[in-house]
Amino acid sequence: MLQVSNIRANKEVYIAAFKKRNFEAETILNDVLSLDESRRSTQSQLDETLAESNQLSKEIGMLFKTGETQKAGILKEKTARLKESSKLLSEELNTITAKLDALLYTIPNVPHQSVPAGVNEEDNEEVFKEGEIPVLAEGSLPHWELAKKYDIIDFELGNKVTGAGFPVYKGKGARLQRALITYFLNKAAEAGYTEYQLPLLVNEASGIATGQLPDKEGQMYHVTEDDLYLIPTAEVPMTNLFRDRMLTESDFPITCTGYTPCFRREAGSYGAHVRGLNRLHQFDKVELVRIEKPENSFEALDGMVDHIKGILRDLKLPYRILRLCGGDLGFTSALTFDFEVFSTAQDRWLEISSVSNFETFQANRLKLRYKDKDGNKHLVHTLNGSALALPRVLAGILENYQTPEGIMIPEVLVPLTGFDRID
C-alpha cells in the first residue's frame, strides 16, 4: 500500500509511472488526497475538542474543591456537549479513514524505473538466456503422457479424489518430487536462509498485509466457517511472521525459506498449454523471502536471481529470464524477474519462478519498520521469489531428460532419489 505522504509529495511522478501499468491514476490519487485532507481536518477538530474537554474537567475539579458548585455545574453541561461532539467526530474520523484505506487498497505498487512499458506478457523483456536445448529422439512425449507411460503421476486419480488440478504423485514420481523439495531447501540453507515450517491457512489480516486481499480474493480458497484462507504461496505466512514489528539495524538481512503446498482456485482455460503439470490448483513450492534496508534491497534482488540461476545450472535445464513489463507486473510488485524453463517436448517456455522487490508496498500494510542508529523509523523493503515451483520444473525434467531407455535423473538429484533413471 502506498503512503499518503509519498503520494502528496510525488503525485505527478506516480501518475507518469503508472502509465507503464496502463493504470490511469490521476483521479484516484486526487481522491486519496482529498480524503486525507478531510481526515486530517477531522482529526484536528477531534484533538481540539478532546483537549478543551480535558481542560474543563480539570477546572471542574478545582471548582468543586473551592465550593463553587454552581460554576462547576455550568462547566459540566459544556463538557457533556463536548463529549457528544467528540463522539460524533470520532465516528466521522473512523468512516473517513475506512474510505481512505479502502481506496488505497485498490492502488497497485509504483513500477520501478527499470520496468519497461507494455500491455501483456508479449511485451516482457528478455534479459538473460542460458543452457542448450536438447534434441529429443523421434517420438518424444509431453510430460503428461510420460507420467502415464511410467505410472509416476496420476491425474485421473487426483480428479477422482478431489477434482481437476490435484494430481497424485506415485512411486518414483513421488520420490523425485521429494528429492527436488529437499534439494531446493538444501540450496537455500547453504545460501544462509533460515528454514521455516509454516501454517497452510492464514487469516484475513495476513492476506491483506501481503496484498493478496482484497486484490486476489477470488483466486484463494476460503474456509468460510472459520474465515481462513488456504495459502496461494508461502510468501503470505512467511512475510507475516514479521507483521507489526519494529526491527533494528542489527536484524538485517532477514532471509527465510520454506516448503509448502500452495492452493489457487484459478487454473486457467482448457487446452494443451494448461494440461498436466502446466497449471494446477495444488502444487508444491520452495519460497525465499528477504527483508532488507531500502538501500540494500536491489542488490539482494540480484542475489536471489543468481541463486535461482545456480539451481537451474545444476539441473542443466535451459532457461531464460524476463523483466516483466508494466502491464504484466503483479499488483504488489515494483520490479519482477520471471524465470522460464524450455520444454522441448511442448516446444514452449514454462514459467517456473518469479522474483520480486515490493519495496515498501507490503511493509506499509505490515506496519513493518526498523529504527536506525539515530532513532529514526523507516519502512523496510520486502522481497520474495520461488526457488522453485515444482510442477513445471518437474515437467521440464521429464520432457528434457527423456531418452528411448527412460527418463534420466539430473546428476545432482541422484543421491536424493536413490535412482538415476525412471523406466
Q: Which pLDDT tens digit goes with each residue over 99-116?
A: 999 999 999 999 999 999
Instruction: Identify the pLDDT of residue 155.
Output: 96
Query: Is it the case that residue 269 has pLDDT exceeding 50?
Result: no
pLDDT tens digits, residue range 85-94?
Answer: 999 999 999 9
What number is the average pLDDT over the span 28-55?
96
What domains lie within the chain, and their CATH numbers? 4-104 (1.10.287), 121-422 (3.30.930.10)
What number is the average pLDDT over the span 183-202?
98
In the chain, the amino acid numbered 150 is Y
Grid coordinates in use for 412?
Answer: 545432482
8 Å CB contact between 22 and 119: yes
What number is the average pLDDT over the span 310-333?
98
Instruction: Identify the pLDDT of residue 271.
Output: 52
Query: Is it the case that residue 45 has pLDDT exceeding 50?
Result: yes
d(CA 310, CA 5): 40
Instruction: Identify the pLDDT of residue 67.
Output: 86
Beta bridge partners of 289: 256, 384
What is the band of 69 on the pLDDT scale with cuts at 50, 70, 90? confident
Query: Is it the case that residue 70 has pLDDT exceeding 90?
Result: no
Query: Is it the case that residue 401 has pLDDT exceeding 60?
Result: yes
Query: Is it the case that residue 274 has pLDDT exceeding 80?
Result: no
Q: Output the CA torsion sign for 321, 322, 328, 330.
A: positive
Q: Which 8-state DSSP code applies to residue 67?
A: T
What is the band of 272 on the pLDDT scale with cuts at 50, 70, 90? low
Instruction: Identify the pLDDT of residue 71.
Output: 86
Mean pLDDT, the chain, integer? 95
* Percent residues over pLDDT 70 in the chain: 98
383: helix, coil or strand?
A: strand
What is this structure's pTM? Answer: 0.92
8 Å CB contact between 292 and 252: yes
Query: Is it the case that residue 212 has pLDDT exceeding 70?
Result: yes
Burial class of 236 by CB neighbour count within 10 A (0 to 12, 13 to 18, 19+): buried
Query: Is it the case that residue 193 has pLDDT exceeding 60?
Result: yes
415: helix, coil or strand?
A: helix
188: helix, coil or strand?
A: helix
Report DSSP letters for 265-309, one per residue.
S----SSGGGSTTSS-SEEEEEEEEEEE-GGGHHHHHHHHHHHHH
25: helix, coil or strand?
A: coil
Report DSSP letters for 368-394, one per residue.
-EEE-TTS-EEE-EEEEEEEEEHHHHH
8 Å CB contact between 273 and 244: no
What number is the average pLDDT over the span 221-240?
97
Residues, the chain = 423
Helix (H) or strand (E) holding 356: strand 348-357
* Percent residues over pLDDT 90 in the chain: 90
Instruction: Identify the pLDDT of residue 213.
Output: 93
What is the band of 156 on the pLDDT scale with cuts at 50, 70, 90? very high
From the list 390, 391, 363, the residue with the least C-alpha distance to 379 is 363
Query: Is it the case that residue 270 has pLDDT exceeding 60?
Result: no
Helix (H) or strand (E) holding 94: helix 69-104
pLDDT tens digits, residue range 322-377?
Answer: 999 999 999 999 999 999 999 998 999 999 999 999 999 999 999 999 999 999 99
Residue matched to cell numbers 480535558: 54
Q: Cis omega (within 30 of 0) on the bond before 214?
A: yes
What number is the average pLDDT over the span 224-240?
97
Instruction: Identify the pLDDT of residue 273.
Output: 62
